[in-house]
Structure 1
Amino acid sequence: MTTRARPAIAAMAYHQGAFVPFAEAGLPLTTQALQYGTGVFEGIRAHTCADGGKLVLFRVRDHYERFLRSCRLLRIETGHTVDELVEITCELLRRNGTTADTYLRPLGYKLALLPGTRPGVGLSGVSDALSITGFPMGAYTPPGGIRCTVSSWVRPRSAAIPIHAKVTGGYVNNALAADEARAAGYDDAILLDDRGRVCEASTANVFAARSGRLLTPPATADLLPGITRDTVLALAADLGIETAEHELDVSDLRCADEVFLTGTGIGITPVNEVSGHPIGAGEPGPIARSLAHHYARTIRGGGDVRHHHWLTSVRIDQG
C-alpha cells in the first residue's frame, strides 16, 4: 500500500481579496460551506519547466473555466474572470518564490448569512468568498503502479448530486470509498454506478486497454470528465492509439491488458490489480508507459508544439 507524505504548505495564500501569510488565513466556525458542503474547488498543477528557471501551469485556463461553471451552479460569485484568476495564481506562485512542482487549490465557497436571511440550508442570501492555496508536490503514486479495489460505495447519480462539478460536499462519497480501500490494504477505490458500470476512482478517471484499443467510460456517465482525461485522449490520438468512450463493467477491467487512472494529482498511474485480480502481466503496460512518458514531457513544455497552448509560464525571481 502506498504511503502518502503530508504536503508542506507554501508561505502565502490568496484569501478573500488579498495575498496573506498562509497562517493568517482563517475562517469562522459558522462558515456555510463548512456546515453544508456548499463550496467548489479545483486542483491545478504547476511544474518546473523543461528548460529550467520558471514554472509552467498546465491547462490553467481550462481548470478555471470549469471552476467558474461549478461556481455558477452553487450561485457563488468570485468577482473574477478566468484571466484574472490566472493572473492571481501566477502572482501567488511568484510570491511563494519556489520553482518546485506545485499543487494549487482554488476554493470558492459560501461564507456567511446576509442580513435578513433565515438560518438553514440555502444558496441565496449567503455571501461568497474565494481562497487559493498551494504547496510543493511532486509525484505521489509509485511509477510501478498501484492496487485498487471495487468499492462497496456506489457513485451517486448526477440527478442527485452535480457529479460534473467539483462540489466539496459531494466528495464525502469519494472519501468513504478511498478510506474503505486503504483500510483493506489497497491504494485506491474504483466506484460503480447503481447499474454496476465503472464510473471513476476516488479522484481520477479510469482507462482500460485491450488489444491495443483504449476505452474509458463516457463523459455523460456519473463521473467528472477530467482535464487529464481529455489530455490523455488527445495524446493517444497523437500516438495513433485507437480510443473510444464506452461503458465498462468490472469484468472489462479484469479482462483488460492494461488499466490506468488519470487525474491532475496522480497524472497517469497504472493499476496492476483490481480486487485481488492481476491486470495483464501485473505491471505497467506499453500503452500506459508510452502515454505517461509523453504526458510528463507535455506538462513541462517539452512535448509536441501543438500542445504548447496548454502551458502558462511563470517566471520566478529567486533573488
Structure 2
Amino acid sequence: MTGHPCFMYNDEIISDHPPEDTVPIQALRYGTGCFETMRSEAGCTVPAGVPFLFDHLHRMYDAIRYLTGIPDLQAIANCPPKESWVDNVKRIKSHANLQHKLCLVRFQVWIEDQNGFYIDSEPNIHRLIEIRAFNDTGGPIDLCYVPHQTISSKSRPAQLKLSNMLHYRDAFRTARSIGAHDAILQNSDGYLAETAIANLFWYKNGTVFTPSEETNILPGITRNRLLEAFRKEGIPCSEGTYTPDALEQADVAWITNSLREITPVRSISGIFPRRDPVPNQKQESSQKDATKTKQPAAHVIKRYQHHPFLHRVYELYQQVKYSTDVQ
C-alpha cells in the first residue's frame, strides 16, 4: 500500500488529488485514449453532414470497450449515447458559424481510471470535439518508402484508432523531411501495408488491389466502404500481401482516408508512375466538351480524370457516401 501522491503541474503544486479535468493521469501514463477524424460537408443530408458518422462512432465505442475492459458501456455513468455526438457536432457548427463550410471534425476520448493496469468498474471518460474549417487542397501526392513498420495486431488491436500512434507520426515526419507528402509503411515481413495517414489502393489489368488486414493496417472507414462499392459493382478486388514491386507496376494508385477521401498518387520514391498523372491544360480543354454533361467540378477533373478508372472510383464513392442507406 502506498500513500497519497502530491502533484506538480506546469511548475505549480496543484493538490494532493489532481482534478481529473486538468490532469488525466492514466491517459498521460499509458495513452488510454482513442479518436476519430472526419469531414463534415455543407448541404450534406447525412447526419451532421459527416459521411459514415455512425461507422466512426461504432469503431470509437469499440475502442472505449477495449480501453476500459467493460463490454457494456451503459454501465459507465458518463459514457454518452452515440446520438449525442451527432447533436453536439450540429451545436458546435452552429455556434462557430460553420454550417456552410467544409470542416474537419475530430472526436477525442481519454479514459481515466483509478487502478492503472487493473480494470476499474467506474472509469471516467473525458470527451473533446474539435471542429474547424478545412481546405481540401487535393492531390496528387508523392509517397516514399520508410523503414517504419506496422505494429502487430497481437500487441494491440490494429483496427482501432488508439492514441498510441507515434510510429505513424514518425513515419510521416520522415517522409516530409525528404520532400514527400506521406510515407509507405510495410509490415515486419516486408509486405506493403498502408501510409502514415491513409490506406493504399492500386489498379492493374482490371483488378483493384489493397493490402489486407493481415499486414496490421488500420482498415479505414473510407477503405471499407469503397471495397463494398467495388464488389457491388462487380469490380474485381484483391485484398492480400504484396511486395513493393506490385504497386510500382500498377496502372494507377491512390490513397484513402475519411478527411481527404480519395487522393491520387503521383510518385513513389521516384519510381511510379511512368507518366504524369495530372493532365496538362490542353488535354483538359480537349476532353471537356466531349464529356460536358457528365463531368463533376473542375478540381475533380484535375484530380481524377487522368485515368478513367480513377474517375470511376471517385464517382462510385460519391454515390455511396451520400446514400442514407449506409449511414
User: TM > 0.5 between the two?
Assistant: yes
Question: Residue 295 of structure 2 corresponds to which residue in structure 1?
Answer: none
1:96-132 residue CA offsets vs partner (Å, 9 max, x unmatched)? 3322011211111124x54xx4xx6666475321121
> Using a 3 Å threshold, how does the CA distance of structure 1 residues 159 and 179 change in structure 2: closer, same or farther?
same
Deviates more, 1:227-236 or 1:65-74: 227-236
Matched, 1:163 2:158: yes
Equivalent residues of 1:257, 1:280 under 8 A apart: no
Question: Residue 325 of structure 2 corresponds to which residue in structure 1?
Answer: 309
> Using a 3 Å threshold, how does the CA distance of structure 1 residues 39 and 164 change in structure 2: closer, same or farther?
same
Question: Which amino acid letter does the alignment assign opposite residue 176 of structure 1?
Answer: D
Structure 1 stretches of 5 or more lacking a match? 1-25, 302-306, 312-319
The alignment partner of 2:50 has SS state of: strand
Matched, 1:127 2:136: no
The alignment partner of 1:177 has SS state of: helix
Question: Which amino acid letter does the alignment assign opposite residue 127 of structure 2?
Answer: L
Structure 2 stretches of 5 or more lacking a match? 1-19, 70-75, 278-305
1:253-283 residue CA offsets vs partner (Å, 9 max, x unmatched)? 1111111101012211111211110225341
Question: Residue 61 of structure 2 corresponds to which residue in structure 1?
Answer: 68
The offset of 1:288, in angstroms, is 2.0
Equivalent residues of 2:202, 2:252 under 8 A apart: yes
Equivalent residues of 1:261, 1:271 under 8 A apart: yes
Equivalent residues of 2:175, 2:183 under 8 A apart: yes
1:2-49 residue CA offsets vs partner (Å, 9 max, x unmatched)? xxxxxxxxxxxxxxxxxxxxxxxx953554323432100011221122
Of residues 224, 231, 234, the one that matches 2:225 is: 231
Question: Residue 89 of structure 2 corresponds to which residue in structure 1?
Answer: 89
TM, length-normalised to structure 2: 0.74
1:266-312 residue CA offsets vs partner (Å, 9 max, x unmatched)? 2111112111102253415322222124434654x4xxxxx33345x
| Aligned residue runs from structure 1 range 160-239, under 5 A | 160-169=155-164, 171-239=165-233
The alignment partner of 2:110 has SS state of: strand
The structure with the larger Rg is: 2
1:195-236 residue CA offsets vs partner (Å, 9 max, x unmatched)? 001111111111111012101112343011111001211332
Question: Residue 12 of structure 1 corresponds to which residue in structure 2?
Answer: none
Equivalent residues of 2:48, 2:89 under 8 A apart: no
Identity %: 23
TM, length-normalised to structure 1: 0.76
1:70-89 residue CA offsets vs partner (Å, 9 max, x unmatched)? 11100185512223333333
Query: Distance between the aligned counterparts of 1:96 and 1:201, measured in 2?
Result: 33
The alignment partner of 1:209 has SS state of: strand
Equivalent residues of 1:191, 1:198 under 8 A apart: yes
Question: Residue 253 of structure 1 corresponds to which residue in structure 2?
Answer: 247
> Using a 3 Å threshold, how does the CA distance of structure 1 residues 262 and 161 change in structure 2: closer, same or farther?
same
Give the structure with the larger helix fraction: 2
Q: How many residues align?
A: 270
Question: Residue 285 of structure 1 corresponds to which residue in structure 2?
Answer: 307
